[in-house]
Amino acid sequence: MESATRVFKSVCRSCHGGCGALLHVRDGRLLKIEGDRDSPLSHGRLCPIGTVTVDLVNHPQRLKFPQRRAGPRGSGKWERISWDAALDEISARLLAIRERFGPEAIALGTGTGRHHIRWVSRFGHALGTPNWCEPGFAQCFHPRVNTCLLTFGDFPVCDYTGGTPPRCMLFWGHNPIHSGPDGETRFNVREALEHNPKIIVVDPRRTELAARADIWLQVRPGADDALGLAMLNVIVGERLYDAAFVQAHTHGFDSLAAHVARFSPEWAEPITWVPAEKIRAAARLFAATKPSMLEWGCAIEHTPKCIQTVRALSMLPVLTGNVDVPGGWVFGARAAGRFPSLIENLTPEASARRLGADRFKMLGGEGADLPAAHIPTLLQAMREGKPYPVKAFLVFGNNTLATYANAKLVHESLMQLDFMVCADLFMTPTAELADIVLPAAAWPELDQIVGLPTVAANVVLAQQKVVQVGECKPDEEIFVALARRMKLPVGTEDVKDVLNAQLRAGGLGYDFDALAARGFAEAPLTYRRYESKGFKTPTGKIELYSTRLEKMGYPPLPGYEEPPESPFSAPAVAQEFPLVLTTGGRIPFYFNSEHRQIAKLRRAYREPRAEIHPATAARHGIAEGAWMWIETRRGRIRQKAKLTDGIDPRVVNAEHGWWFPDEPGPEYGIWKSNANVLTDNGPPYDPQMGTYQLRGLLCRVAPAT
């Protein structure tokens, strides 16, 4: 007899996520999803990706059982095996590699900040290896987190839930109403926009936000640092700053003022391609309108001067007194509790062997909130065995070939491994290179908590396991099962015990089951905590002049540097590749490289599109909607031309994350339109973070016949 349909509260994680969801489930099968109107973040809304969760979960191409490679690596030949056989084999191979080469010869990888990201590092730490990585750690979000921890002692987020709407919103390299990893922000932003704030947009493209902005600064990709410094110059030079706040709560203002005096808007104009008067107008508007907030995105983190760019931009809300105030930037309650990463299981010697830690202290050393390995150095260790060999790579939820820079070099590196495991929802070109593929659970198939906004965690939401598909297992349970099989000293507790410990540390007063029944819990927001507690920095103030950066041997004040591959820094290359490439902008129907299996989404957005100015397209004989080649020194790809005068004639915007699950494996068209064929992961790197240049690279275009 069929049982009744039940409705469970949950939280969508089809992106980093946070939209409240109601799951209609019968006999362990997902029948329907709808937005949860009670959600304090999304108020019942879901984006196109969340709306098709039933299609994702019940997709016929889901991986449903473990498989072992049955031919040469990458040959596309697989045999079904049991979970016991898979876990036994993984345990035995990892123990053998650890015994022979040391634990650091085992690396772990993941992609995006989903439910299991912290569990990947936790398992690595339990195993004794410091080498785990995620493509965003040097390039996306974490540079902002680590920089702000040094500058503020905490990570500020925009105040959308406190009831005071911002009167000015500055969107910098960020288009959250269409995209953004924490997707629920799109709804928060749309609600804030209903109050008609002044809008400033910094973006090379005329996005929907740029089109409705009061001021649109069409910056040259990769020149954000110069633009930020010029805005600081105006705010300081014209005395637009909040003198009382700056005097009482910041450290190093006089040094900063002297430092930015040289970065006038006229100095910045030829570098940024933004007229000086527009820079002035934007700085004046941001400073004069309170409360103001800065919504920033990963576009500012895609060059080797990433940390200093973030530093410069972070000072705009500081100087204008928009920190920890209603409707401005606020600090979170951190109500999710600190995740037990088990990093204490690593000895200092083991931590010191983290790849890249000796050079990039804010990525892998003392300046990192959660230290991670440097990906180019890790790939080199796979290929060349230097500085020591990395023999095994365990990838949990990441299509590495689509999401790491310089995809051809990544492929070459992965092919050198002795042992590779991939856990994912679907077979991917990356999983095809593995020795063992594990079927991972999708978000309605697992118990987890998430604190949002990310890091701040003012709202804590629960997702609960209410669906079972095939033999799929949550990544978290795979880690626990492996830790037990390998008899690791830590990391063997039940998943729910870990979640409960984390919730206890957060202090909200709910255990996991109680939170799951409610769906979410909110922590009260408090403002101006600095008045009684100061800031958690060495000086107790916001460090405009960073004593910690100085102590680590890095510049204490932000400067300007030209990206290594640009029309100005590499004029000889620009002769052959005269256009500036930007990439990484999101598509509302896909999250990074995911979701292209889902027919409804593919119908809405079938093929990759590259934006190009009509004059540039005409010069190269490229017609609207035609396939065109985009080529850099690394390789070339094809995307369909989208002609728009909303992009500078000197710039091309290529979409990222493209592969074609509907094309034959094992490659699934990974080399056709993948923007990471074009990008580079070589030096020079950001001295603090190890960041490489993903934006503002030089390219050329041609019709693809």
For binding to ligand SF4 (CB under 6 A), which residues are involved? 12, 14-15, 17-19, 46-47, 49-50, 183-184
Closest approach, Cβ 587 to ligand SF4, in A, equals 12
Q: Which is nearer to ligand SF4, 184 or 686 (CB)?
A: 184
673 neighbors 637 (Cβ within 8 angstroms): yes
- When the beta carbons of 109 and 444 are compared against ligand SF4, the nearer one is 444
Per the omega criterion (within 30 degrees of 0), is the bond before 684 cis? yes
Give the sheet arrangement for strand 168-172, strand by strand. 215-217, 198-202, 168-172, 292-296
The CB-of-474 to ligand SF4 minimum distance in angstroms stands at: 18
Closest approach, Cβ 38 to ligand SF4, in A, equals 15
234-239 long-range contacts (CB < 8 A, ≥24 apart) are: 234/265, 234/279, 234/280, 234/283, 234/284, 235/283, 235/286, 235/287, 235/316, 235/319, 235/320, 236/260, 236/261, 236/319, 237/261, 237/264, 238/283, 238/284
Are 200 and 170 spatial neighbours (Cβ–Cβ below 8 Å)?
Answer: yes
For 630, residues 6+ apart whose C-beta sits below 8 A from its C-beta are 581, 610, 636, 637, 638, 639, 652, 654, 678, 699, 700, 701
Nearer to ligand SF4 (CB atom), residue 35 or residue 506: 35
Nearer to ligand SF4, 146 or 464 (CB): 464
CB of 351 to ligand SF4, least distance (A): 34
Query: Going by C-beta distance under 8 Å and a sequence separation of 6 or more, which residues neighbour residue 652?
Result: 579, 580, 581, 582, 610, 611, 612, 616, 630, 699, 701
User: Could you tell me which of 157, 145, 455, 180 has the C-alpha nearest to residue 311?
Assistant: 145
Q: How far is the CB of 406 from ligand SF4 (least distance, A)?
A: 28
Tokens 């701040």, located at residue: 456
Euclidean distance between CA atoms 72 and 62, whole angstroms: 23
* Least distance CB 50 / ligand SF4 (angstroms): 2
Give the dihedral sign, CA 547/554/323/247. positive
Instruction: Quote the least distance from Cβ 620 to ligand SF4, whole Å.
Output: 36
- Min CB(183)–ligand SF4 separation in Å: 2
What is the smallest separation between the CB atom of 206 and ligand SF4, expressed in angstroms?
23
Q: Which is nearer to ligand SF4, 16 or 305 (CB)?
A: 16
Do the Cβ atoms of 382 and 60 come closer than 8 Å?
A: no
Please report the DSSP string for 42-75 in residue order.
Answer: TTT---HHHHTHHHHHT-TTS--S-EEE-SSTTS
Q: How far is the CB of 35 from ligand SF4 (least distance, A)?
A: 8
- Residue closer to ligand SF4, measured from CB, 59 or 125: 59
At residue 599, φ and ψ (nearest 5 deg) are -55, -40
Between 184 and 295, CB nearer to ligand SF4: 184
Exposure letters 76-102 (e unless 16+ CB within 10 A, then b): eebeebeeeebbebbbebbeebbeebb
Which CB atom, from 12 or from 333, has the smaller least distance to ligand SF4? Answer: 12
Altogether, the residues listed in the chain come to a count of 705
Which residues 6+ apart lie within 8 Å of 278 measured at CB?
215, 217
Distance of CA 599 to the CA centre of its chain: 26
Both tokens of residue 672?
């056709």
**Beta-bridge mates of residue 459:** 452, 522
Please identify, using beta-carbon distances, which residue of 201 and 442 lies nearer to ligand SF4: 442
Neighbour-count burial of 615, counting CB atoms closer than 10 A to its CB (0-12 exposed, 13-18 middle, 19+ buried): exposed
Nearer to ligand SF4, 152 or 443 (CB): 443
Residue 254 neighbours by CB distance under 10 Å = 9
- What's the CA gap between 548 and 545, in Å, rounded? 9
Which C-beta is closer to ligand SF4: that of 46 or that of 330?
A: 46
Minimal distance, residue 591 CB to ligand SF4, in Å: 6
Shortest distance in whole angstroms from residue 296 CB to ligand SF4: 18
Percent helix, strand, coil in the chain (nearest 5)? Answer: 35, 20, 50
**Which one, 461 or 637, has the nearer CB to ligand SF4?**
461
CB of 192 to ligand SF4, least distance (A): 16
CB of 16 to ligand SF4, least distance (A): 7
How far is the CA of 61 from the CAs of 54, 73, 117, 469, 535, in angstroms? 13, 21, 24, 12, 50
| Shortest Å, Cβ 458 to ligand SF4 | 16
Pick between residue 601 and residue 697 the one whose CB is nearest to ligand SF4.
601
Q: Nearer Cβ to ligand SF4, position 12 or 628?
A: 12
Nearer to ligand SF4, 43 or 518 (CB): 43
